[in-house]
């Protein structure tokens, strides 16, 4: 008591009739939360009502075209572009990230320049550029550098809209993916790498068994961000005549003038694809999150799956 | 006397102009436990990290067995720096235990220990698990074999880290302040394991602030100050009959 200010003394508390127990306490009153919740619900209901009852949305047309052949072909092309560009992005991005982190000044500078160029110019410009590569390099040849050529082909024949789209989306994605990888890799504690080295692990093994798996926790969320951006980014390909989803619905509404319902058809498909991706992300994140907390997952859904996963891990024993 | 397993001669190390080690000569013989004492900044952790090439020495040499750590002697007498992969092979003779344990958090305790025997010593899966479980029993953490490191207490983690280092059967064990990150009540469970190792004939170089451990378990105590070895001898010589005022001052302040 000696250290307390003089105006603070023991307060005579009224003796409670019942012993106090916080376990029986009521939740706090939150009137503002209630008011805001009601306003939000009313506004949301109005928006839903507007969408469902406004005849201009033409939901019957949406239903009519959702599974039409042209649209489905567009969906398949969008998925194909996403998967091919993503493959290029994930692989090339990994190479770029490792080069940028390398001690070799030349490799590091090359990777930095690539990232600078492909992140610094608009994706749409890059797509149009690759589509028109024939203007810059009319003929592509295979041969000995500065020596004889074995085979050559006109750029315009080789670089179709499809190839231009794959190259354009893939190379652009690689630049972003490289930075995502790099962020994850440098977030791994230096002590982890030292411990692996001290055990006599060779650099490649340290990278793939120790650094990368721990980096994945930081790599996966932004990667899915960028995959979702890539799915939607494929719509830019319609500009160079790639027959993906947006191009397909454009083809239809340019004849029928049912612009709004067909854009909704495209949006529904984009939402469907990204929703599936969200699910995939959830499972991948859970896989790389193992061992990262004392009590397992905090998300309720994850807890449900964790019970089964925990059993699996217990039975698995040694992984290597 | 037997050949020293570790021979450090004239070791120098500077970080961007600041000289941390100013010519260290030290030998550790097979079966010997050497405690490295000194105040923070005296260079004792740097010395330890130079031994397994986590730091690259600026001068002098470090011999483990008949190899210069980090280098290869070429036929014409020149010395050639090794690649990281080649250094990795050299490091397999030297185990290390870190202040912050540095167990791999994405692997279970068992995986942490069994990976080395499995991937480096090429033991079969069954043999690797058997060796790991034997070591875990020895350090008293066998019941947590399938837990992840973060589910263990600090003392348990450090005992697992010791088992992990032992799993490769190194010729020399390095300990870098192994109890400094522990709660006081957990220190003894780790020093007990280390003392048992020392008594069992392991060759150990231990950077520590646990003077009790050094006195009880070390064959020799080395006192480092300002990047040089100021004094060394048996625990009794250094603790009770120190010739150096600087050592006596350090001991007085640390023992309080």
pLDDT, tens digit, 9 for 90 and up, residues B84-99: 999 999 999 999 999 9
Arithmetic mean of pLDDT, A94-113: 96
φ/ψ of residue B20, rounded to 5: -95, -40
Q: B134 in helix, strand or coil?
A: helix
Kindly report the average pLDDT of chain A as a whole number.
86
Q: Is the pLDDT of residue A251 over 50?
A: yes
Arithmetic mean of pLDDT, A256-273: 93
CB burial class (10 A; 0-12, 13-18, 19+) of residue B27?
A: middle
Tell me the Cα Rg of chain B. 18
The alpha-carbon gap from B108 to the nearest alpha carbon of chain A, in Å, equals 8
Q: What is the reported pLDDT for A200?
A: 95
The alpha-carbon gap from A247 to the nearest alpha carbon of chain B, in Å, equals 45
Instruction: Note whether A218 and A187 are within 8 A (CB).
Output: yes
From B102, B148, B151, residue closest to A194, measured CB to CB: B102
Distance CA A155, CA B3 (A): 71
Residues comprising chain A, all counted: 320
From B52, B84, B150, residue closest to A294, measured CB to CB: B150
Instruction: Note whether B70 and B90 are within 8 A (CB).
Output: yes
A154 in contact with B at a CB cutoff of 8 Å? no
Q: What are the residues whose beta carbons fall under 8 Å from the beta carbon of B86, sequence distance 6 or more?
A: B72
Q: Residue ranges of the alpha helices (H) in B74-124?
A: 84-91, 109-119
Arithmetic mean of pLDDT, B68-92: 94
Per-residue pLDDT tens over the stretch A20-56: 888 888 989 999 999 999 999 999 999 999 888 888 8
Contacts of A103 in chain B (CB under 8 A): none
Q: Label residue A289 by pLDDT band (50, 70, 90).
A: confident
The residue behind tokens 């998925």 is: A79
> What residue of A is the nearest CA neighbor of B85?
A202
Q: Is the pLDDT of residue A318 over 50?
A: no
Q: Is the pLDDT of residue A9 over 80?
A: no
User: For A241, which DSSP code?
Assistant: T
Arithmetic mean of pLDDT, B73-82: 92
Q: Is the pLDDT of residue A155 over 90?
A: no
φ/ψ of residue B9, rounded to 5: -135, 130
The complex scores an ipTM of: 0.93
Q: What is the reported pLDDT for A314?
A: 54
Q: What are the residues whose beta carbons fall under 8 Å from the beta carbon of A268, sequence distance 6 or more?
A: A62, A66
End-to-end CA, chain B: 38
Tell me the Cα Rg of chain A. 29
Contact A205 B119 (CB under 8 A): yes
Q: Is the pLDDT of residue B222 over 70?
A: yes
Q: What is the reported pLDDT for A298?
A: 46
Instruction: Note whether B131 and B167 are within 8 A (CB).
Output: yes
Contacts of A199 in chain B (CB under 8 A): 91-92, 95, 115-116, 120, 164-165, 168
Contacts of A313 in chain B (CB under 8 A): 108, 146
Distance CA A105, CA A91 (A): 21
Q: Is the pLDDT of residue A13 over 70?
A: no
Sign of the CA dihedral with A51 first, then A54, A60, and A64 last: negative
User: For B143, which DSSP code?
Assistant: G
Arithmetic mean of pLDDT, A214-232: 94
């Amino acid at each position: 008591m000696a250290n307390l200010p003089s105006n603070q003394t023991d307060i005579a508390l009224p003796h409670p009739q019942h012993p106090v127990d916080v376990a029986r306490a009521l939740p706090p009153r939150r009137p503002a939360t209630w008011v805001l919740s009601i306003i939000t619900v009313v506004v949301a209901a109005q928006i839903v009502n507007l969408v469902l009852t406004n005849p201009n949305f033409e939901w019957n047309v949406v239903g009519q075209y959702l599974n039409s052949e042209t649209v489905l072909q567009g969906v398949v092309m969008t998925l194909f572009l996403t998967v091919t560009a993503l493959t290029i992005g994930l692989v090339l991005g990994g190479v770029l990230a490792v080069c940028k982190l390398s001690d070799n000044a030349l490799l590091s500078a090359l990777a930095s320049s690539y990232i600078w160029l492909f992140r610094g110019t608009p994706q749409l410009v890059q797509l149009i550029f690759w589509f028109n590569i024939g203007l810059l390099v009319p003929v592509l040849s295979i041969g000995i550098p500065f020596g004889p050529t074995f085979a050559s082909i006109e750029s315009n024949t080789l670089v179709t809209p499809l190839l231009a789209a794959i190259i354009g989306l893939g190379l652009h994605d690689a630049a972003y993916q490289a930075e995502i990888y790099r962020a994850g890799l440098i977030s791994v504690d230096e002590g982890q790498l030292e411990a692996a080295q001290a055990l006599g692990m060779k650099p490649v093994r340290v990278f793939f068994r120790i650094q990368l798996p721990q980096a994945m926790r930081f790599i996966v969320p932004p990667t899915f961000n960028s995959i979702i951006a890539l799915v939607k980014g494929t719509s830019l390909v319609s500009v160079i005549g790639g027959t993906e989803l947006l191009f397909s619905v454009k083809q239809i509404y340019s004849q029928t003038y049912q612009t709004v319902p067909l854009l909704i058809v495209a949006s529904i498909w984009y939402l469907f694809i990204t929703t599936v991706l969200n699910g995939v992300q959830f499972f991948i994140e859970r896989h790389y999150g193992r061992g990262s907390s004392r009590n397992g997952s905090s998300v309720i859904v994850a807890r449900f799956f964790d019970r089964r996963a925990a059993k699996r891990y217990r039975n698995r024993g040694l992984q290597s | 006397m037997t050949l020293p397993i570790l021979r450090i001669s004239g070791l120098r190390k500077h970080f961007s102009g600041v000289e941390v080690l100013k010519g260290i000569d030290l030998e550790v013989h097979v079966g010997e436990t050497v405690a490295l004492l000194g105040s923070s900044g005296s260079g004792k952790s740097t010395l330890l990290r130079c031994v397994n090439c986590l730091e690259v020495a600026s001068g002098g040499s470090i011999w483990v067995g008949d190899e210069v750590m980090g280098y290869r002697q070429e036929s014409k007498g020149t010395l050639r720096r090794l690649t990281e992969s080649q250094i990795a092979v050299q490091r397999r003779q030297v185990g290390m235990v870190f202040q912050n344990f540095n167990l791999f958090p994405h692997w279970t305790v068992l995986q942490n220990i069994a990976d080395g025997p499995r991937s480096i010593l090429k033991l079969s899966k069954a043999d690797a698990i058997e060796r790991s479980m034997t070591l875990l029993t020895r350090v008293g953490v066998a019941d947590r074999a399938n837990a992840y490191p973060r589910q263990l207490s600090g003392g348990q983690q450090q005992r697992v880290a010791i088992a992990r280092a032992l799993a490769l059967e190194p010729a020399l064990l390095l300990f870098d302040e192994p109890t400094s990150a522990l709660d006081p009540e957990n220190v003894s469970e780790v020093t007990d394991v280390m003392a048992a190792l020392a008594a069992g004939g392991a060759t150990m170089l231990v950077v520590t602030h646990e003077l009790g451990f050094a006195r009880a378990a070390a064959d020799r105590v080395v006192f480092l100050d300002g990047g040089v070895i100021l004094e060394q001898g048996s625990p009794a010589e250094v603790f009770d009959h120190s010739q150096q005022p600087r050592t006596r001052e350090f001991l007085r302040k640390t023992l309080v």
